[in-house]
Each structure stands twice: as C-alpha cells, then as structure tokens.
Amino acid sequence: MSKLALFMIDIVAVGVLVFGLYFPRHHRRDLVVAYLGVNAGVMAVASLLSTSSIGAGLGLGLFGVLSIIRLRSAEIDQHEVAYYFSALALGILGALSSTWIWRPVGLMTLILVVMFIGDHPRLLRGYRNQIMVLDSVVTDQVALTAWLERLLGARVHSVNIQRVDLVNDITVVEVRYSYRSRRAARAAAVNAAPAPDHGRGQHPGTNHDPVIGPGSNTVQAGIHR
C-alpha cells in the first residue's frame, strides 16, 4: 500500500513541478513531455529494479548515461537542466521503498520548495546574462565595459569577448550585468548609446560604430530572469 501511495504522490509532485512551476513560468511544451517522460520512466524502472537481483545501481547508472546524452543533444538552459533532474529525482523517490513514508514525501516536498524559490521570477530579477553580437570589432575591455553600461543603463559585472571576426567586422561578447531599478530596465529596452571612439580595434577600411538596438545586427540569447 505504501508503494502505491508513493506512486500517487510522485504523480502529484511531478504535476506540480511541471504544470504548477515550469510551464507557467517558461511556456516550453516540448520539455513538458520530456519531464513527464523521464519521471515516469525512472519511476517504473527503479521500482522494478528495486526488487530485482540486478540492483537499482545499474539501472540508475544507465539513466544517468541517457540523461547526459539527452542534455548534450539539444540546447537547454541551466534552469531547464534543474527541472530535468528534479523530475528524475522525484521519480527515484517515488519508486524506492522506505519504512517511513514521510521520508520520501518530505524529500519530494523539499525539491518542490527549492525549485519554487530558486526559479522564482522575483529572485535576483535584476540580473541578466546575455550574448551580444556587435557589428564592429571592439577589443578594448575597459572602453567596451563603459559603453555597455551606458547602453544597457545597468552595472556590468563582467564582459567576456568570445569571438572577434576581422573579416566580417563582428565581435561576440558575453555580458553579465544587473539593473539598478525597474525604471532603468525599461529605459534600456528603448534607448541606445554611441560606441566609444577610443581604444577600439577595427578592421582596416571600416569606420562605423558598433550599434545594438532596433534594426541592428544583434543576437540576444540566454537571458535569465
């Protein structure tokens, strides 16, 4: 009876994780299927192996290998990885028998609480991590940082120049920054600042400034709220 009760509790827990936390916040349908599938699969196999002479260790090891392959096969953000392994952990807890049913139930509740708080939109909501493509070559780190702070209206914590293309006159940078207020965040969405004129490495024959804004050569990805 306790095993069946754990199965039902796991179904409720993964439902809360997927339909109560993940989908209302991120709206990605394909990962809803992945989370439900990995939870049900892990729970079924772990439940069978827990009573088999093969042992649960081998089965969980196989699922670990499959999880690594799955995570490397498609682009997935870090918060989605956290949901992925939370669904996996709920499935394991729902399949393993325990003398005291409150122990796995308490651990399931802990996972849900951690994900609710850790992925809450209001937690560190002013911090961003963004990839920017500049339509000019910029190599001066100090000048680039100062210009990005004016452009974004935010405090830039780090700038990592990932790629400099002298042929196509492109610089790809990863920027980590935080807004000082909501007003600054809204203003940064519509305002743009000119690029610095000094300390900038340019490809010979070009004299334009890098611009990030509407209509420019811009790529934005990996924004974490």
User: Has domain 125-225 been given CATH number 3.30.70?
Assistant: yes
Side chain identity, residue 26: H
**Which residues lie across from 127 on neighbouring strands?**
178
| pLDDT (average), residues 118-123 | 87
In angstroms, rounded to a whole number, what is the distance separating the alpha carbons of residues 54 and 52? 5
Model-wide pTM > 0.75 = no
Provide the percentage of residues in the chain whose pLDDT is more than 70. Answer: 67
Give mean pLDDT, residues 64-68.
Answer: 62
Q: In this structure, what token pair is assigned to residue 96?
A: 């393993």
Question: Interhelix angle for 102-118 vs 78-95, to 10°?
Answer: 170
Rounded (10°) angle between helices 2-15 and 29-49: 160
Give me the residue spans of the domains in the chain: 2-118, 125-225
Is residue 224 predicted with pLDDT exceeding 50? no
State the pLDDT at residue 187.
54
Whether 166 has a pLDDT exceeding 80, the answer reads yes
Question: Higher confidence at residue 180 or residue 40?
Answer: 40
Range from 34-48, 102-116, 154-168 that averages highest in pLDDT: 102-116
Residue 60 confidence (pLDDT): 60
Q: Of 169, 174, 177, nearest to 150 (Cα)?
A: 177
Q: For position 24, what pLDDT does the model report?
A: 94
Q: Tell me the torsion sign for CA atoms 140, 146, 148, 150.
A: negative
Kindly list the strands in the beta sheet with 170-179, ordered across the sheet, starting from the edge strand earlier in the chain.
127-134, 170-179, 154-165
**Closest-CA residue to 31 (of 65, 79, 94, 63):** 79
Q: Which amino acid is at 92?
A: I
What is the residue whose two structure tokens read 């000119």? 194
